[in-house]
Each structure stands twice: as structure tokens, then as C-alpha cells.
């Protein structure tokens, strides 16, 4: 393990430089320093991460309406309530639909952009910046542009203006759930913000593919284009692809900002899990018990995804090789 070797080297170095001091003092010096460096972070981590998690697990078993220090233990009733009576299961379904749209499209778009940019010889930095720039824009600002300018349901929206040139009538993208035009709005927004970030990851991975592979393929008679892409580029990108897909999946679970601002919490459609939690805990009912129970369920789901990610990517294996 890495830490073992680090420790060995560090102790050896210190021991060499100051042989007069006893060994025990050295170790406690390192111990003291370890806590000096990590202490502030660990204290904060306990207070602001572990305490809330523990508190919320505790709250999820109590009748905690309008209170965060409840006394009435109700077992699994909060879980039952949020899984049967409320819209929380619907929101999990919404997330699944959303993820089914957004994960493959972002993957394909960011890979496509990376492949294009990677081939450029002039102005590569310029185009990379253009695609990367939306990463700096907040979901709120983007939601505002999408809702009030591009997909505005009235005549002056950009999309309706363009459609109008071809004689198509105005479309009210966000006014009602059928047909579900709002997915076009939501997915295109997230694509615009996310694609550039994942393009950077793919670009880095593309540049790590050894050139010899392509040369060898050419000698073997592989046609440049689809064949080299299918049999060299894509397999070489497998690790990055897996990581990108799982990062996208976890990000989709946590969608909130653009749904909150474009769809709103009053609508009956396209409510994400976090929006349901927001309404349960901070809406008019102030039911911290049910909200906490939902948070526990969602956390468990994300844990499963993350652990699967660890399995597939061999999380921690990289450390030993260092």
C-alpha cells in the first residue's frame, strides 16, 4: 500500500537527518502533524456531513412535522408514506426517463465534439473554448434563456421565430405536458451545459491512445474512419466512457435547478426526486420525517450506483500502482 511506503521513506529520512532524537518522539511528532493537517477538515466533516446524515436517519423514524426534535417514534411509517402516498415514486420514474434521454445524448455529443476538435489543426484552442464555455454558465441563467427566449411559447421566442419562417404555428413548449415538448427544452439545456466538460475528458483520453495502434491497423489494411474508430478508438476509450456514463447518471439523479426554474414545483409533471424532497420538507407541510426518509432512499440508490461504479472502474486499484 502506498501509505506504508510513504511512511517508511519519511521515517528513514527524518531518522537520518536527526539521529540524536529518540524514535518515539519522531513518531508522535508525525502523529501530531497528521492531526494538525487533517483535524480542521475532519471536524467539519463530522459536524456538517456525518451529523446531518445521522440526524436525518433518526428523523426518518419519527413523526417530525414542524419539528426537528421529535419524540414520537413511528417506525417505518415515513418510508411507507413517501413510497405510497406521495409523488416521490413518480419522481423516481421521471428521473429514469430523464436519464434515458440525457445520458446517451450527452455521451454521444461530447465524444463527437472531442473527435472533431481532436482532428483540428488550426484554431483548435478556439473551438475547444467555445464548446467548453457553457460549463461556466449556471443552470438558473441557462433556464432563464431557454424559458424566456429560445423556447418562449409566444411569437418572439427564437424557436418559434425560426419555425415561423417555415410556416409552422407557434408551439407552447412549456404550457402543458402533452405533447411533452418540455423534454426538448430540458434535455437541450443540460446538453449545452454539460457537453463541453465531458468533451475535455474525452479529449484527454484520445490524446493518450498510442499512435502505433493506428499505424499497425493501417498496415493490416484497416480503413481509416469507421473501422479504426470501431476497433481502436472506442475500445481504447472504454474506461473514460464508463466513467462519463456513471458521472452523468449520478448527476441526473440530482437534477433540480433547471426543473425548478423551468417546470416549477406547482406543476404536476416532470418533478425530480430532489424537488419532491424540497416540497415535503420545506413546503407547507414541513414534514422533516418524510423528507428525511426520501433522502435516505435516494442516498441508498446513489450509493448503489457509486458502488457499481467502483466495481466497474476498479476504484482504489489505481492507488496501489502508485
Contacting another protein within 138-197 (CB under 8 A): 138-150, 154-156, 158, 161, 192, 196-197
3-state SS of the chain: helix, strand, coil percent to 5? Answer: 75, 0, 25
As a residue count, the chain comes to 322
Binding window for another protein (CB under 8 A); candidates: 77-85, 95-103, 169-177, 225-233: 225-233
Residue 7 within binding range of another protein, rule CB under 8 A: yes
Out of 183, 233, 267, 285, point to the residue binding another protein (CB under 8 A). Answer: 233
Do residues 128 and 203 lie in contact, with contact meaning Cβ atoms separated by under 8 Å? yes
Binding window for another protein (CB under 8 A); candidates: 80-88, 96-104, 173-181, 300-308: 300-308
Q: Shortest distance, CB of residue 6 to another protein, whole angstroms?
A: 6
Residue 87 within binding range of another protein, rule CB under 8 A: no
CA distance 253 to 92: 8
Residue 92 within binding range of another protein, rule CB under 8 A: no
First to last CA, the chain: 9
Nearer CB in complex with another protein: 156/269? 156
Total binding residues for another protein by CB under 8 A?
127
CA distance 272 to 260: 9
Out of 68, 93, 108, 168, point to the residue binding another protein (CB under 8 A). Answer: 68
Residue 249 within binding range of another protein, rule CB under 8 A: no
Q: Among residue numbers 9 through 28, which ones bind another protein (CB under 8 A)?
A: 9-11, 13-14, 17, 27
- Burial class (CB within 10 angstroms; exposed 0-12, middle 13-18, buried 19+) of 32: exposed
Out of 71, 84, 119, 284, point to the residue binding another protein (CB under 8 A). Answer: 119
Which residues are CB-neighbours of 217 under 8 A, at least 6 positions away?
A: 227, 228, 231, 232
CA distance 78 to 59: 9
Amino acid at each position: 500500500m502506498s501509505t506504508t511506503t510513504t511512511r517508511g521513506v519519511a521515517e528513514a529520512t527524518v531518522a537520518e537527518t536527526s539521529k540524536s532524537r529518540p524514535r518515539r518522539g519522531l513518531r508522535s511528532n508525525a502523529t501530531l502533524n497528521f492531526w494538525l493537517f487533517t483535524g480542521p477538515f475532519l471536524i467539519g466533516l463530522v459536524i456538517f456531513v456525518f451529523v446531518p446524515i445521522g440526524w436525518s436517519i433518526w428523523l426518518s423514524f419519527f413523526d417530525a412535522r414542524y419539528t426537528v426534535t421529535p419524540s414520537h417514534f413511528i417506525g417505518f411509517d415515513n418510508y411507507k408514506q413517501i413510497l405510497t402516498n406521495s409523488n416521490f415514486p413518480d419522481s423516481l420514474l421521471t428521473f429514469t426517463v430523464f436519464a434515458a434521454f440525457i445520458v446517451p445524448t450527452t455521451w454521444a455529443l461530447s465524444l463527437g465534439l472531442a473527435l472533431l476538435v481532436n482532428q483540428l489543426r488550426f484554431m483548435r484552442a478556439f473551438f475547444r473554448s467555445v464548446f467548453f464555455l457553457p460549463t461556466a454558465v449556471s443552470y438558473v441563467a441557462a433556464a432563464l434563456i431557454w424559458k424566456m427566449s429560445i423556447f418562449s411559447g409566444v411569437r418572439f421566442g427564437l424557436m418559434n421565430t425560426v419555425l415561423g419562417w417555415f410556416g409552422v404555428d407557434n408551439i407552447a413548449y412549456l404550457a402543458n405536458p402533452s405533447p411533452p415538448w418540455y423534454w426538448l427544452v430540458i434535455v437541450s439545456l443540460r446538453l449545452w451545459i454539460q457537453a463541453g466538460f465531458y468533451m475535455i475528458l474525452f479529449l484527454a483520453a484520445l490524446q493518450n491512445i498510442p499512435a502505433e495502434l493506428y499505424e499497425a491497423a493501417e498496415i493490416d489494411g484497416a480503413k481509416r474512419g469507421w473501422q479504426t474508430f470501431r476497433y481502436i478508438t472506442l475500445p481504447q476509450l472504454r474506461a473514460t466512457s464508463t466513467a462519463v456514463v456513471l458521472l452523468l447518471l449520478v448527476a441526473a439523479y440530482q437534477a433540480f435547478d433547471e426543473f425548478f426554474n423551468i417546470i416549477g414545483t406547482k406543476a404536476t409533471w416532470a418533478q425530480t426526486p430532489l424537488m419532491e424532497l424540497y416540497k415535503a420538507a420545506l413546503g407547507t407541510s414541513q414534514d422533516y420525517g418524510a423528507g428525511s426518509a426520501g433522502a435516505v432512499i435516494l442516498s441508498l440508490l446513489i450509493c448503489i450506483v457509486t458502488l457499481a461504479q467502483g466495481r466497474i472502474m476498479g476504484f482504489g486499484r489505481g492507488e496501489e500502482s502508485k
